[in-house]
Structure 1
C-alpha cells in the first residue's frame, strides 16, 4: 500500500475537508464491506417526508471519524494521554460502528432476520475484518465492546455525548433542512476533558450540552419519529415480513440473490456466520427497491398493495395518541378492511396495526453527561443546569399509534 494514500482528503458538505488518519483506516474505507454503506440510506424512508434526506451511512461514518480525530486532538492538548494505537483504534471503532446496518438502516433487523440488531451485525463484520487484517482491529473491537480498561474511549464511540450522535444530529439536520437539530459539535468537542478515566464536559460548555439534548429531543419528534416516516418504515418491515411468509409457503418471488437468501432462510444470532456476512454484505437499498418494483405485479394483494404504497408514497393513515388503543377500535378497523378488500384477518393485519414510540432525550440512569466545575467537582449536567426542562427531558415520553387505510 502506497503510504501517500493516508494523505487523501474527502470533501464533506458539513465539515469541509476530512483527512484519512492512517493507511489501515484508508484500507478499511476502501474495503467492499465499507463501500456498501454508500448504498445504505442514513435515514431510511425519511426522504418521503424530507426530500433532501438521501444521505448515506457512508457519509455519516466518515463524519463521525472526523469528529473523533478532533476529539483526540483536543484531549491530547489538555494533557490526556492517548497513544497512537488507541487513537487509531478509536478511528476504526467509530468508522465501523454502523457497518452492520441493512437496507434502509433499520428495516432488516425487525423483519427478515430474527431480532439480530445492527450492533450485533457490526461486531460480526468487525470480527471478519479483524481476521482479514491480521488482528489489527482487536483494540478497536475491545473499545467498541467496552472491554478496554479506559472507559472514556468507549464513551467517545458509544455514550450520550459520542461522536456518532454529534455527527448524525448535525448531518441529519443539514440534509432535512430541520434547523432545530443543528448543534455546535466543534464547541462541544472543545469542551471535552477526562477525569478518572471518564469523559466530562467543562462547566462553560453547559449551554452547548443543553442545546444538544434539546436538539436531540426535537429531531426525534420532528424527524426520526415523524408520522409519515413511521408509517413508511413500518410498511417496509411488513412488506419484507410478507415476502418471507409467502416464500415459506412455497411462492417464488422475484428478488436479488442476496435478498432471496434471507427470504428463504431463518437467520438468528447463532447462525449469522462469516458466510452469512458475505451474503449480507451484498444487500442494500437497491435490492429492496428493485424487489418492490417487481412485487407490484405479484398476485398477492398484500405484497402488491404495500409495494405500490411505498413506491408511490400513497401510505396508510396514522393516528398517534397518549393512551393505548382499545381492542374494539382495532377490531372495527380490521373488519372494515376485510370487508372492503375481501381479505383474511391475517392479511388485514398488514394494513391495520398498532405500536408504541418512545422518546427519551437524556438518560440520568446510565452513562450520564457529567460537568467538570471550576472547583473540580464532577456533577450530572441535569443537576447543574438552570434549565428545569433537562430533568424533564430525562423522562421517557410514550405515545401509541394505529395505522389503517385512508379509505376506511
Structure 2
C-alpha cells in the first residue's frame, strides 16, 4: 500500500511549531541521509563548556524551513512574486544546506575526508537525492549553487545575512544560554525586501542589522572560539589523525566498520558512491564509541588523547593576542615528550590562529533600501554606528599544552 503523507508538525523549542505540508519535503526529511543529522552535534564539542549545547543539525535544518516560510509570507505581502515551484525549491535548499556535515560538524571536516568541504558533500548528497526523487530537486540545487537568475533565493540561504545564520545564532544562544547571541530573527526578516531580484533590507532596520553583526561576533569569541571547546576539538582531531596513522602502519585500531573504512582510506580526491554511502552512515556515536575503546589502546599517544576527551581532562589553554615563537613551541613539545615518555609531543601542544571578520564590505555587502527608493551598501549609511569598526578582522591565538608543563621557560 502506497504511503500517504499527512501534514506534519515539529515542535521546535526555539521557533515554535514548524509545519511541513509538502509531501516531497517530508519524504526528504524522512530519508536516511537527512535523519543522520539527528546524530550530528550542531556546535561540535561546545557542550564541554555549555552543557545545554547538545542540539543537532537536524533541528537547525528544521529551523531554516520555519524562517524560510516566514520570509516567503513577508516578501509576498510586499508584492514579491514567488511561484509554488520556487517556494518548494527554496525550502528544500535551506533544508539540505548542511546535509554534508560530518561528525561533530566542523570539528572533523578535513580529518576523515581530507580536503573535502561540507558544502561539496552537501551538493553531492543533493544530486543523489535528485536522482532518487526523479529530478524534483533540480531547481533547489540551482538555487543552492547560485545558478538561478533570481539571486535573492540564494542570498536567503548563503550570504552575510542569510536564514542559516539567523537560525543558528538564535538557536545556539538558546541552547548555550549565551544571551549575547540572541538575535531578533523575525524583526530582521520583516525588514527584508527584494529589488531587481536581489535581497535588500529596509533602512529602518539598520540597528537590528548592527545588533545581528555584533551578536555573531560575540558568539564566535564566547562560544565557537571558546578556549576549552577549541582545545577539545583539537585533541579530537589529533586522536583521529593518530588512529589513521596507526591504521596506515598496519596496526589494528578498534572502531565501528563505518569509521574503520575512513581510517583505512586516505584518497578522497574523487568521491565514489561507496564513499558517500559510508559517510551517510557516519555520525557522532561512531567517534565517541571509538574514543572510549581507544582509552585503553596500547599506543600511548592515542590512549592519552582519548582519555583527555572522554574524561574531560583537558589541558591548559588560553587565548593570546600575539603568537609564541617556534622555539618556545618546540620547548613545550619536548617537555611534553619527556612528561608522557612518548616519541613526539606535537599531538599535545598546539597554537592556532582564530580570526573573526564581523562584516565583509568587499564580498556580497548587505544593501539597504532607503525611503526614496535608493539602494546603498550598509557601510555607507549615514546613521550607522558600529559597521565601520565591524569591518576590521580581529585575530587572536589559541594555545594549549598539558597543565604539567605550563610555565616551562
Give the TM-score normalised by the residue count of structure 1: 0.97
1:112 Cα shift?
1.9
Correspondence for 1:12: 12
Structure 2 residues not aligned, in runs of 5+: none
Aligned ranges 1:376-387 → 2 under 5 Å: 376-384=373-381, 386-387=383-384
- Residue 354 (1) aligns with residue 340 (2): no
Correspondence for 2:90: 90
Structure 1 residues not aligned, in runs of 5+: none
CA contact (8 A) 2:207 2:384 kept: no
Q: For the residues of structure 1 that align with 2:231 and 2:267, how far apart are their CA atoms? A: 25
- Residue 391 (1) aligns with residue 383 (2): no
Q: For the residues of structure 2 that align with 1:69 and 1:388, how far apart are their CA atoms? A: 31
Q: For the residues of structure 1 that align with 2:80 and 2:375, how far apart are their CA atoms? A: 17
SS in 1 for 2:109: helix
Off by >4 Å, runs of 4+ in structure 1? 1-4
1:382 Cα shift?
2.4
Q: For the residues of structure 1 that align with 2:94 and 2:208, how far apart are their CA atoms? A: 22
SS in 1 for 2:99: coil
1:4 Cα shift?
4.9
SS in 2 for 1:110: coil
Q: For the residues of structure 1 that align with 2:195 and 2:384, how far apart are their CA atoms? A: 25
Q: Which moved more, 1:376-385 or 1:236-245?
A: 376-385
Q: CA RMSD in A?
A: 1.2
1:360 Cα shift?
1.1
Correspondence for 1:241: 241
Correspondence for 1:47: 47
Q: Which moved more, 1:214-223 or 1:319-328?
A: 319-328
- Residue 373 (1) aligns with residue 370 (2): yes
Correspondence for 1:325: 324
Instruction: Map Cα deviations across residues 137-187 of structure 1 (whole Å, 9 max, x no partner).
Output: 011011101111111110001011111001000000000000110011111
Aligned ranges 1:8-407 → 2 under 5 Å: 8-268=8-268, 270-345=269-344, 348-384=345-381, 386-407=383-404
CA contact (8 A) 1:200 1:370 kept: yes
Q: For the residues of structure 2 that align with 1:178 and 1:392, how far apart are their CA atoms? A: 23
Q: For the residues of structure 2 that align with 1:111 and 1:210, how far apart are their CA atoms? A: 35
1:3 Cα shift?
5.3
CA contact (8 A) 2:206 2:384 kept: no
1:384 Cα shift?
1.5
Q: For the residues of structure 2 that align with 1:327 and 1:85, how far apart are their CA atoms? A: 56
1:324 Cα shift?
2.4
Q: For the residues of structure 1 that align with 2:307 and 2:340, how far apart are their CA atoms? A: 16
CA distance change for structure 1 residues 371 and 67 in 2, over 3 Å: closer, same or farther?
same
Q: For the residues of structure 1 that align with 2:179 and 2:29, how far apart are their CA atoms? A: 30
Q: For the residues of structure 1 that align with 2:125 and 2:279, how far apart are their CA atoms? A: 10
CA contact (8 A) 2:169 2:182 kept: yes
CA distance change for structure 1 residues 328 and 4 in 2, over 3 Å: closer, same or farther?
closer
Instruction: Map Cα deviations across residues 197-225 of structure 1 (whole Å, 9 max, x no partner).
Output: 11001111111111111110110110010
SS in 2 for 1:308: helix
Q: For the residues of structure 2 that align with 1:375 and 1:133, how far apart are their CA atoms? A: 46
Q: Which moved more, 1:307-316 or 1:170-179?
A: 307-316
CA contact (8 A) 2:200 2:367 kept: yes
Number of matched pairs: 404
Give the TM-score normalised by the residue count of structure 2: 0.97
Instruction: Map Cα deviations across residues 315-367 of structure 1 (whole Å, 9 max, x no partner).
Output: 1212322222211210110111112222123xx11001211111111111111
1:387 Cα shift?
4.4
